[in-house]
A and B are shown apart, each in its own frame.
Chain A
């Protein structure tokens, strides 16, 4: 294992800090799962990490590729199967994913299905009563975030400049939209959904908690304890709400400010759905 990869990956740093180094899901070198106590019960933590020797070359820098998508699905479904007849343990997705893998064989072999399988597994866990929490510690990009984290009951994030959420990586988006990265950043200041930074994202109402004053790169013991307490509180909040859907993303005060059109569409739908 290269030291570059381990110093590089916030996913690995935070998985280790919260739950130990974990073990790679069978058949992958990049999907790590670890069990650790959280708020007095056992929880399963899952992270995707880079591997410069990944057998698929297009997934060597922390991307969610074919093995990663199906590996995530396997890791999550193992928890669902194990808890079928007992208390549904929390699942924490530790999110630091640069993008989905861009490649020719990825398309041919169905990376869309691999990522869908991961989303399916997380949603199935949520619907089965597992509290699912996503913890954003680095990049949460595009299809990779859809596969790993976006189906969680609650999304938490570290307030850090390296925590980024977007539909496309900065450089790629600049090339596709024929803008410079600086222009994109300026647009993001005017148009919150176009911003990459986590503070703008928090303003959209999709985050449950933004965790301030924690070192994202090199967390100390106190940082880790604070984050663990926030995760446990999120699990308690999920259980208390009884909700198994994503409706909390529409009901927060931030959502009413940040995405009122999403709420208005649903209000009018309710009015017109049955009307003749």
Chain B
């Protein structure tokens, strides 16, 4: 194993280097890369520059010697938003991984979520692709852990927050945020008295990585370090398919919600006590 003495920030890496950092040394092979020129067909019609990978890097390689695919969203392009091509790359990769499992090849899927959700300039085709990504994760999950990572700094929002939470294992850092509606959208739609999106401390206390881990919404909180994240990803695959999923814990969460009084909601701190792992008997 490569022992790394100094911290190597994962957040500061490009999507391509993030994917590389998770794969066994020397095994990285990009597919549908920049030379394929699969760009958004919809952005040029709106005068918006395309990018030759549409903001998603797909890499084949190995994780602990097993075949793998990493889909890494590049938040530096269009906020990591999901357009038709970007979304199809992730959904298509999940579909290929499922086909592999059906013919006995144990391909390990990892998704690096760094996204505001649907790219509004491709609205309905982004939303449709997200539904297909969700379907892909759910079909694959019984065969192999589907591992998601939200490292920051964009975080994971919109329909992609559903996709992330459907992963078998979701790994976050303290710099990650996970929520369905971005704070700005909530303020705009519900008013500043509902949520002041400029109150950074409040936002992090509600949807930041540390809170999400403490309240039981994600599976692992790790440091912003490429080695630590790669280790957590390997551990998730080593644990194998557990068959238990937060998104299928219907009775548990319905009981928890029934005990919440919307007129007097718990604080984020209290929620940690109510829903965190310490609360499980």
Contact = CB atoms under 8 A, between A and B. Distances in A.
Nearest to A255: B128
Interface stretch (A2-10, A14-22, A144-152, A231-239): A144-152
Interface stretch (B6-14, B17-25, B117-125, B231-239): B117-125
A102 B138 CA distance: 26
A249 B41 contact: no
Q: How extensive is the interface on chain B, given as a class? A: 35 or more
A112 B165 contact: yes
Interface stretch (A43-51, A84-92, A189-197, A212-220): A189-197
A264 B54 CA distance: 14
Given A27-B258, A194-B121, A269-B32, A262 B179 contact: no
Interface in B115-143: 117-118, 120-132, 134-135, 138-139
A266 B95 contact: yes
A249 B166 CA distance: 22
**Residue among A70, A110, A165, A177 with most chain B CB within 10 A:** A110
Contacts of B85: 261-262, 265
A167 B118 contact: yes
Interface residues of A, number: 77
B120 A173 contact: yes
Contacts of A226: none
- Chain B residues touching A, majority SS: helix
Interface in A113-172: 113-117, 119-121, 123-124, 127, 142-143, 145-147, 150-151, 165-168, 172
Contacts of B36: 268
Contact of A104 (B165, B186, B250): B186
Nearest to B130: A146
B1 interface: no
B73 interface: no
Contacts of A115: 162, 180
A228 interface: no
B122 A193 contact: yes
B271 A109 contact: yes
Contacts of A270: 96
Contact of A172 (B134, B164, B189, B249): B189
Given A74-B254, A115-B180, A262-B84, A109 B32 contact: no
B38 A27 contact: no
B207 A108 contact: yes
Nearest to A100: B180
A247 to B, nearest CB: 8
B62 interface: no
B171 interface: no
Interface in B138-179: 138-139, 158-159, 161-166, 178-179
A166 B123 contact: yes
A203 to B, nearest CB: 10
Contacts of B127: 142, 145-146, 150, 165-167
A181 interface: no
A192 to B, nearest CB: 8
B166 A116 contact: yes
A165 B124 contact: yes
A265 B89 contact: yes
Contacts of A147: 162
A66 interface: yes
Contact of A103 (B95, B194, B248, B258): B194
Interface in B179-231: 179-181, 185-186, 188-190, 194-195, 206-207, 215, 217
Interchain residue pairs A-B with the least CB separation, the first 3? A112-B161, A265-B88, A150-B131
21 contacts: A27-B254, A66-B257, A70-B250, A102-B189, A102-B190, A103-B195, A104-B194, A104-B206, A110-B165, A112-B179, A120-B248, A124-B248, A143-B162, A166-B124, A172-B185, A193-B125, A204-B128, A245-B135, A265-B38, A268-B32, A273-B31
Interface of B: 29, 31-32, 36, 38, 40-42, 45-46, 58, 60, 84-85, 88-89, 92-93, 95-96, 117-118, 120-132, 134-135, 138-139, 158-159, 161-166, 178-181, 185-186, 188-190, 194-195, 206-207, 215, 217, 245-250, 253-254, 257-258, 260, 262, 265, 268, 271
Interface of A: 27, 55-58, 66-67, 70-71, 73-74, 77, 100, 102-117, 119-121, 123-124, 127, 142-143, 145-147, 150-151, 165-168, 172-173, 175-177, 187, 190-195, 201, 204, 206, 245-246, 249, 259-262, 264-266, 268-270, 272-273, 276
